């Protein structure tokens, strides 16, 4: 009843909200061309609409630069890539992480202690609960976001406090991820997709859309999906059920939209992370990629309900206001047994049963106004916005050691050990954010020179509680910061632009883990467990060059960013304390490439060089060492070839490379580099009144055994083993 009344209240309050962006296929005048079919563009769901797809259809011509709105690549002083729905479908991506494996500036990792997707952007971690949905943070499921829920994946590289506000969960220093919702196109959409993998995974989805009204001003789009079965990892099982409905209204001046969704994601015997204990002197050799050391009784369940409403109203041709509101209720429970490696050579380690319950409640919103005007020969695009975010997290957990231990290469399986009853989740933390932002983009010289100036005043209030119910409030922070930004773009020609920016990030401080290893294979309570540090500001400086023709595009950027360094002080192993000292400084160069090299050959990829070091730590033995989990070099190169002699047939391939990384601050535990190769094929054929698209894919073609990621939590170098060779097929039918 509470959720129902909340949704009714939101609908009444947000009567004037901005609609979100249109369906991917609606952005092009012809995203799919057959002899008897021409898909035309849909009405925009906002004044700006969805950025059109670039040549080749894999990425868009631009993306959303926060409160500045949707901008073309050559017109913004920031680095943005927006991956299209056509590309998402062709790569058979099932999650945000699957999409971002195609990005040379991002590496997919896993959150600490659970199965949450995380992403290293410019070497800084961003967890999936820090992902935005149509500009609002933390509205979609916290650990795993299925691709049926969104139209595009946008990556905004670098700090973004002025553009998007402070990230509520402590990420966003290296970049932000924004997902765009689906909208009904101008044609009737009736799409069914069925898929399977060689490992007995089965999936099916339906995507239905209609427009109504005298001028097709009302739109509805419904997505439903079910995934179930085994994965490429032995004995691992996963099930996903979701339903999402998107509504929109297109008036002369008023545009409205609403999204309501549900996702239930369940995992059984999912392979866990490996934690390297203090006494480990070498990194374990990689086991067979299909091996599973998880205990048979382990599981993790996540269930989320979410909704968002938007509106946009044109007061005049040059003045538009918008408003948005969103909420999420998430429930999680799991029973896990992580393997803690005590001997890197033999693979021996300890086990414990760890049960956790969690409830998240999120409310967030934004209102703003933007206008265009001139002062003399200078054009202005002025924007002002207010945003807020409120989250409440409840937790409950218990753990018990499992005598006997296990081995990475020869696991020992145990009956589920007894555990004290898990209390109902109790209040663990509250986060409240409020901010006001003001910005102006000035255009000179017939729009060849554009200067963006802005600042955001952000108030952050955090409260941390002892959710064991013993001591109550254990830490709080209530203060404000002003984060400025300046960016400039100069178009050398119609195809070249050079840009630079100074921008800051403002993030919630790191939170102390409740327990840590005691150096002897067990765990010990952290003295300040659950305490959050004060939010901190990170400064970014960037300069870059962008190039685009009608068919090919490229970008080159140099950046430098730093952040305070958090670590677990174990000088007294019986009383470890979570502390801050020094900073991590990241400097890097990014080269990206996208578009069509020829009429039949599409390219997508690039290279990232990163120099991420620890500085001023107070410990001379680690000063200047590399940051845990960050490779010096990573590259992703993808290509797709449309076979000229066979209409509708295409082949694609992708090579991913990640250099060596370290799993400890002292840089004594070195993790090897890795390279994987993925291939795929697509065949599109028209049968009577149906379009049939057949897709096949082989990921990790050569069945490489490798440590896919290292780290993911301050001071911890735990390892995640990459997935083995995975073969998947799907068939999509569009009915007309």
Distinct helix (H) and strand (E) counts, the chain: 4, 42
Q: What share of the chain is helix, strand, coil (3-state, %, to 5)?
A: 5, 55, 35
- How, if at all, do strands 152-157 and 719-721 pair? unpaired
DSSP string, 136-197: EET-S-SS--BGGG-SEEEEEES--HHHH--BTTS--SSEEEEEE-----SS-EEEEEEEEE
Average pLDDT over residues 273-293: 93
Burial class (CB in 10 A: 0-12, 13-18, 19+), 8: exposed
Could you tell me which of 337, 352, 341 has the C-alpha nearest to residue 268? 337
Of 556 and 116, the structure prediction assigns the larger pLDDT to 556
Each residue's pLDDT tens digit, 272-282: 999 898 889 99
Q: Check residue 346 and give its pLDDT.
A: 97
| Alpha-carbon span 676 to 657, nearest angstrom | 7
CATH 3.40.50.2300 at 2-286+298-735, yes or no: no
Could you tell me which of 732, 619, 711, 722 has the C-alpha nearest to residue 127? 711
Q: Check residue 30 and give its pLDDT.
A: 35
Taken as a whole, the chain contains a residue count of 736
| Cα radius of gyration (the chain) | 25
Q: What percent of the chain has pLDDT over 90?
A: 71
Phi, psi of 240 (to 5 degrees): -135, 135
Find out whether 672 and 657 touch, Cβ atoms under 8 Å.
no
Q: Check residue 450 and give its pLDDT.
A: 98
Find out whether 577 and 526 touch, Cβ atoms under 8 Å.
yes
Distances (CA, A) of 479 to 434, 455, 464, 506, 579: 11, 17, 15, 12, 20
Each residue's pLDDT tens digit, 185-227: 989 999 999 999 887 789 999 999 999 999 999 999 999 999 9
| Alpha-carbon span 308 to 183, nearest angstrom | 14
Structure confidence at residue 522 as a pLDDT band (50, 70, 90): low
Q: Take residue 126 and report the two structure tokens written for it.
A: 């961003």
Three-state SS across 587-635? EEEEEEEEEECCCCEEEEEEEEEEEEEEECCCCCCCCCCECCCCCCEEE
Q: Take residue 293 and report the two structure tokens written for it.
A: 């050391």
| Alpha-carbon span 416 to 727, nearest angstrom | 33
Beta-carbon count within 10 A of 275 CB: 22
Q: Check residue 410 and give its pLDDT.
A: 96
Measured at the alpha carbon of residue 179, what is the angle toward residues 81 and 734, in degrees to the nearest 5? 95
Dihedral-angle region of residue 215 (phi above 0 means left; psi in -120 to 50 means alpha; beta otherwise): alpha
Burial class (CB in 10 A: 0-12, 13-18, 19+), 479: exposed
| CB environment 211-244: b (16+ within 10 A), e (fewer) | beeeeebbbebbbbbebeebbbbbebbbebbbbb
Of 529 and 176, the structure prediction assigns the larger pLDDT to 176
Residue 655, CB-side half-sphere exposure with 13 Å CA sphere: 8
| Alpha-carbon span 573 to 567, nearest angstrom | 14
| Alpha-carbon span 424 to 575, nearest angstrom | 28
- How, if at all, do strands 661-662 and 649-658 pair? unpaired
| CB environment 248-267: b (16+ within 10 A), e (fewer) | bbbeeebbbbbbebbbbbbb
Structure confidence at residue 3 as a pLDDT band (50, 70, 90): very low
Distances (CA, A) of 149 to 6, 62, 145, 205, 261: 22, 21, 7, 11, 8
- Give just the sign of the alpha carbon dihedral 679, 684, 685, 689: positive
Each residue's pLDDT tens digit, 631-648: 999 999 999 999 999 999
Find out whether 75 and 48 touch, Cβ atoms under 8 Å.
no
> Which are the contacts of 2, defined by CB distance < 8 A and separation ≥ 6?
none
Strands (E), 616-725: 633-642, 649-658, 661-662, 670-671, 674-687, 690-699, 707-710, 719-721
Average pLDDT over residues 137-158: 95
Could you tell me which of 278, 290, 369 has the C-alpha nearest to residue 16? 369
Find out whether 634 and 607 touch, Cβ atoms under 8 Å.
yes
What does pTM read for this prediction? 0.90
Structure confidence at residue 39 as a pLDDT band (50, 70, 90): very low
Q: Check residue 131 and give its pLDDT.
A: 95
Average pLDDT, the chain: 89
| Alpha-carbon span 586 to 617, nearest angstrom | 15
Q: Does the pLDDT of residue 517 top 70, yes or no?
A: no
Domain boundaries, the chain: 2-286+298-735
Q: Take residue 160 and report the two structure tokens written for it.
A: 């973004």
Each residue's pLDDT tens digit, 529-545: 767 777 788 999 999 99
């Amino acid at each position: 009843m509470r959720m129902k009344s909340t949704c009714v209240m939101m609908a009444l309050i947000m009567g004037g909200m901005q609609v979100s962006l249109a369906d991917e296929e609606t952005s092009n005048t012809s995203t799919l061309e057959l002899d008897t079919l021409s898909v035309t563009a849909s009405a925009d769901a906002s004044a700006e609409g969805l950025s059109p797809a670039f040549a080749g259809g894999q990425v868009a011509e631009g993306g959303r630069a926060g409160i500045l709105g949707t901008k073309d690549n050559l017109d913004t002083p920031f680095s943005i890539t927006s991956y299209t729905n056509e590309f998402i479908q062709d790569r058979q991506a099932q999650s945000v992480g699957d999409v971002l494996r195609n990005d040379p500036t991002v590496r997919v990792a896993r959150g600490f202690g659970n199965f949450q997707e995380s992403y290293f952007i410019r070497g800084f971690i961003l967890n999936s609960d820090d992902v935005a949905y149509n500009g609002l943070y933390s509205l979609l499921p916290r650990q795993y976001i299925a691709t049926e829920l969104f139209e595009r994946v946008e990556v905004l590289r670098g700090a973004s406090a002025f553009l998007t506000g402070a990230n509520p969960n402590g990420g966003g220093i290296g970049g932000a991820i924004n997902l765009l919702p689906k909208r009904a196109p101008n044609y009737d959409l009736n799409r069914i997709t069925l898929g399977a993998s060689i490992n007995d995974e089965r999936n099916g989805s339906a995507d239905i859309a209609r427009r109504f009204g005298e001028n097709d001003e009302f739109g509805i789009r419904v997505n439903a999906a079910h995934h179930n079965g085994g994965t490429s990892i032995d004995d691992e099982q996963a099930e996903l059920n979701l339903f999402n409905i998107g509504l929109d209204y297109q008036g002369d001046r008023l545009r409205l939209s609403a999204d309501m969704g549900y996702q239930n994601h369940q995992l059984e015997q999912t392979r866990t992370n490996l934690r390297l204990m203090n006494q480990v002197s070498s990194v374990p050799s990689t086991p067979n990629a299909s091996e599973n050391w998880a205990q048979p009784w382990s599981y993790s369940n996540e269930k989320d309900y979410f909704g968002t409403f938007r509106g946009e109203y044109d007061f005049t041709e040059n003045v538009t206001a918008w408003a948005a509101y969103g909420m999420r209720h998430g429930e999680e429970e799991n029973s896990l047994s992580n393997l803690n490696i005590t001997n890197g050579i033999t693979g021996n380690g300890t086990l414990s049963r760890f049960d956790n319950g969690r409830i998240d409640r999120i409310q967030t919103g934004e209102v703003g106004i933007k206008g265009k005007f001139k002062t003399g020969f200078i054009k202005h695009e002025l924007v002002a916005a207010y945003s807020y975010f409120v989250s409440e997290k409840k937790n409950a957990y218990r753990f018990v050691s499992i005598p006997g231990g296990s081995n990475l290469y020869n696991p020992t399986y145990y009956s589920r050990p007894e555990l004290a009853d898990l209390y109902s989740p109790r209040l663990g933390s509250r986060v409240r954010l409020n901010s006001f932002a003001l910005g102006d983009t000035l255009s000179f010289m017939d729009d060849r020179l554009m200067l963006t100036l802005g600042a955001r005043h952000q108030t952050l209030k955090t409260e941390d509680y002892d959710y064991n119910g013993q001591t109550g409030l254990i830490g709080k922070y209530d203060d404000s910061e002003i984060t400025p930004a300046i960016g400039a773009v100069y178009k050398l020609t119609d195809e070249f632009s050079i840009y630079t920016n100074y921008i800051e990030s403002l993030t919630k401080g790191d939170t102390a883990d409740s327990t840590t290893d005691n150096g002897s294979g067990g765990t010990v309570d952290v003295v300040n467990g659950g305490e959050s540090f004060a939010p901190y500001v990170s400064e970014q400086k960037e300069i870059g060059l962008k190039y685009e023709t009608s068919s090919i595009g490229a970008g080159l950027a140099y950046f430098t960013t730093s952040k305070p360094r958090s670590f677990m002080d174990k000088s007294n192993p019986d009383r470890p304390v979570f502390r801050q000292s020094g900073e991590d400084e990241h400097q890097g160069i990014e080269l990206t490439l996208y578009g069509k090299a020829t009429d039949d050959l599409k390219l997508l990829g690039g290279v990232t060089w990163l120099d991420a070091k620890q500085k001023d730590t107070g410990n001379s033995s680690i000063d200047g060492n590399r940051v845990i989990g960050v490779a010096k070099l990573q590259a992703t190169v993808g290509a797709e070839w449309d076979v000229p002699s066979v209409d509708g047939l295409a082949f694609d391939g992708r090579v991913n490379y990640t250099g060596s990384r370290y799993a400890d601050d002292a840089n004594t535990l070195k993790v090897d580099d890795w390279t994987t190769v993925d291939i795929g094929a697509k065949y599109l054929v028209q049968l009577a009144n149906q379009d049939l698209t057949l897709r096949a894919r082989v990921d990790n073609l050569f069945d490489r055994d490798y440590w896919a990621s290292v780290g993911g939590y301050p001071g911890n170098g735990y390892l995640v083993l990459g997935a083995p060779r995975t073969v998947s097929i799907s068939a999509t039918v569009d009915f007309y």
